[in-house]
Amino acid sequence: MPPLLDVRNLEVRFFTRDGVVHAVNGVSFQLHEGETLGIVGESGSGKSVTMLSILRLIPQPPGRITKGEVLFQGVDLLKLDEADIRRIRGSKIAMVFQDPMTSLNPVLTIGRQITEVLETHLNMSPQEARQRAIELLRMVGIPNAAERLNDYPHQFSGGMRQRVMIAMALACHPQILIADEPTTALDVTIQAQIIDLVKRLRDELGMAIIWITHDLGVVAGLAHRVAVMYAGYIVEEAPVLELYHHPRHPYTLGLLGSLPRLDRRERRRLVSIDGMPPDLLELPAGCPFAPRCPYAFDRCWEENPRLEEIAPNHRIACWVDVQTGRPR
Amino acid sequence: MNRNGQVLLRVENLVKWFPITRGIIFTRTIGYVHAVDGVSFEIRRGETLGLVGESGCGKSTVGRTILQLHRPTRGHVYFDGIDLTQLRGGELRRMRRRMQIIFQDPYASLNPRMTVGQIIAEPLEIHGIARGKEARERVEELLRLVGLNPIFADRYPHEFSGGQRQRIGIARALALQPDFIVCDEPISALDVSIQAQIVNLLQELQERFHLTYLFIAHDLAMVRHISDRVAVMYLGKIVELADRIELYENPLHPYTQALLSAVPVPDPAVEARRQRIILRGEVPSPVNPPSGCRFHPRCPIAQEICKHVEPEWREIRPGHWVACHLAA
Ligand SMILES: Nc1ncnc2c1ncn2[C@@H]1O[C@H](COP(=O)(O)OP(=O)(O)OP(=O)(O)O)[C@@H](O)[C@H]1O
Ligand SMILES: Nc1ncnc2c1ncn2[C@@H]1O[C@H](COP(=O)(O)OP(=O)(O)O)[C@@H](O)[C@H]1O
Ligand code: SF4
Ligand code: SF4
Ligand SMILES: [Mg+2]
Ligand SMILES: [Mg+2]
């Protein structure tokens, strides 16, 4: 079956006063029907810009999608005109952001914001839309849904607002839900509530999900497949068990080694990754991880490895086989 | 580290309420935020006590009230046997030299108009310990100690990354050779790969200078990693306190149990078998905390008595303290 979403060689740049920010540098991945893909990476690694570019939401200027294709059910979203992409956004592909306050309109009631989506995308009458909005708020676990429709965003707590955002995202039964760090600003017990909710809705509605996070714990329990981003590249991608149990890219190994584990009583020194991520204004010619990589050798400084399949469904961008420590 | 060491800090029934006021000319107090509402614990010399809990539960207020940055509403703080709450002016300043704080936000906590050297030397000058060339030498030594190049002394904070700024904050805190440091979420704002660097540094410094830490965080895995004992806070109260192994393997308070179960573990095999306790609702307001046990509206096993009677703070096993009617 062809993938639901097929992102090919996506490249995004920001042309700023300081120079060209190489935010996304040839990212390719696929998302299949009903699948949950986790994308992990540190701040600035290009996760949000990748997702915003898929929906053509990056500010232009300074941003520009300089290369690539985004095939959604075979149609290249990057070639659609503004009216067509708008029809896809929110109805076929919906997005939830880290900070719901920035995507909710502070001067409109929650009810108005949800019914507006329903009226424009699904041509519902105001009465139908209101009824459906109440159902949606109930579905995401907001008590007294009918009364809360009249409240403004600031009258909701962080966790509640994120539920409202999820309700709005699901209003038109999207085929893909893109969630960009939706629980990063929330406390763990509230994060657990939201993840529990998303898993339940995923099973009920059968949508595909792209879940972006910097927390390797969150995707471990949620994703079927995980892609790791570094400096605007996907550097490793594998089914979830494979990625955590047999990581093959030095950066993924480093990330997993630097995490303390709640379920381990023995205390070992954390293996930290030295240095810091590269400046995206001047990317090196070779592998972007080379300055921090314990496995780096001559070739790494000269040639940037491409993402290649090294085992079934397991892709890495690296010249070295970490199991032997020698070039592949 | 130091199980039976001498007690360095004893906090007795500490209370900090913040008044809520109305009116501009004639202000009147219409209520209080019960930020910290009666907490007691000890920290031994050379030990790390972890303090965890969700946003707004009072962790930072505990830290700041111990250091007398906020004056407590009630209660006592004995540092090396001396009650800090009774000290004023010069006496307090002399004691404060021995106690420092490191903040969460390495961006906001350093004065942008001062060079790194001036920032680190400031406490030395305020306390009349070193000036001029001598201060400069001490600054360079401190920079080396936290893993920074001494030539950085002439640069400004904005030229540094988050992790480097946190190192500068640590160098400043160490300038007066303190005995005790409140680490208030020192790694929360940092990327995963940088967090381990800072935690390792804090641990090395602790061993080298025999420091005592109060380590505040909401990352329970990191707290387990760094702490000898851990205290769990909920809505202004400490609800449980025990040794790091005991607390995580045998949590007795229903809130601790829920909190631990909510933390995702970066291992899909473990996540697949885990049972989560999903708490209902959200943390109530600290302005009118619930009667009886403050956790009762969300507690999955609450009984009638919990609504009316506040549970006692009891030592249920040697070193394992809990406030719950049903804990046994
Ligand atoms: N200076 C102040 N004036 C009034 N209220 C305050 C003040 N400082 C803190 N509070 C309130 O006291 C309560 C506890 O705050 P505190 O900052 O100690 O929480 P915390 O546990 O450190 O939270 P976080 O995890 O978000 O840092 C909160 O309700 C907060 O709004
Ligand atoms: N509007 C913008 N103008 C200039 N640079 C930007 C803009 N948005 C993002 N960037 C840059 O693109 C890179 C990737 O950012 P982002 O995708 O937001 O990272 P992530 O979501 O992984 O934290 C970063 O270097 C960021 O500073
Ligand atoms: S290509 Fe070289 S530098 Fe890059 S991750 Fe692999 S070993 Fe390290
Ligand atoms: S005292 Fe009652 S309400 Fe409070 S934690 Fe224990 S069982 Fe739950
Ligand atoms: Mg982002
Ligand atoms: Mg705080």
Q: What's the DSSP call for residue B142? A: H
Q: What's the DSSP call for residue A89? A: B
d(CA B200, nearest CA chain A) in Å: 7
* pLDDT above 70 for B261: yes
Q: Which span out of A110-119, B88-97, B206-215 was modeled with the highest average pLDDT?
A: B206-215
Q: Is A315 left (phi over 0), alpha (psi -120 to 50) or beta?
A: beta
Confidence of residue B3 (pLDDT cuts 50, 70, 90): low
d(CA B264, nearest CA chain A) in Å: 5
Q: Which span out of A179-183, A237-241, A261-265, A277-281 was modeled with the highest average pLDDT?
A: A237-241
Looking at the DSSP bridge assignments, the partners of residue A64 are A13
Describe chain A by its helix, strand, coil percentages, rounded to 5: 35, 25, 40
For ligand 2, whether the C-beta of A47 sits within 6 Å is yes
Q: Two tokens at B42?
A: 């000890």
ipTM of the shown complex:
0.87
**A168-172, B144-148, B198-202: lowest mean pLDDT where?**
A168-172
Mean pLDDT of B39-59: 95
Tell me the C-alpha distance between B291 and B303, whole Å: 13
Please write the tens of the pLDDT for every residue from B76-104: 999 999 999 999 989 999 999 999 999 88
Tell me the C-alpha distance between B137 and B293, whole Å: 54
Q: What is the pTM of this model?
A: 0.89
pLDDT computed for residue A9 by the predictor: 97
Which ligand has the shortest distance to the CA of B237? Answer: 1
Q: Which amino acid is at A244?
A: Y
Confidence of residue A117 (pLDDT cuts 50, 70, 90): confident
Pick the residue whose CA is nearest to atom 4 on ligand 4: B293
Please write the tens of the pLDDT for every residue from B216-230: 998 899 999 999 999
Task: Let me know: does A237 contact A226? Beta carbons within 8 Å.
Answer: yes
Q: Mean pLDDT score of chain B, rounded to an integer?
A: 93
Looking at the DSSP bridge assignments, the partners of residue A315 are A237, A309
* pLDDT above 70 for B1: no
Helix (H, G, I), strand (E, B) or coil at A147: helix
Please write the tens of the pLDDT for every residue from A214-273: 999 999 999 999 999 999 999 999 999 999 999 999 999 999 999 998 888 888 888 889
Q: B207: CA distance to ligand 4 center in Å?
A: 39
Chain A within 8 Å of B271 (Cβ-Cβ)? yes
* pLDDT above 60 for B282: yes
Task: Let me know: does B162 contact B190? Beta carbons within 8 Å.
Answer: yes
Tell me the C-alpha distance between B235 and B231, whole Å: 13
* pLDDT above 50 for B2: no
Spell out which residues of chain B touch residue A189, defining contact as CB-CB under 8 Å: 54, 258-259, 262, 279
Helix (H, G, I), strand (E, B) or coil at B224: helix
- Of A305, A273, A272, nearest in space to A288 by CA: A305
Which ligand has the shortest distance to the CA of B184? Answer: 6
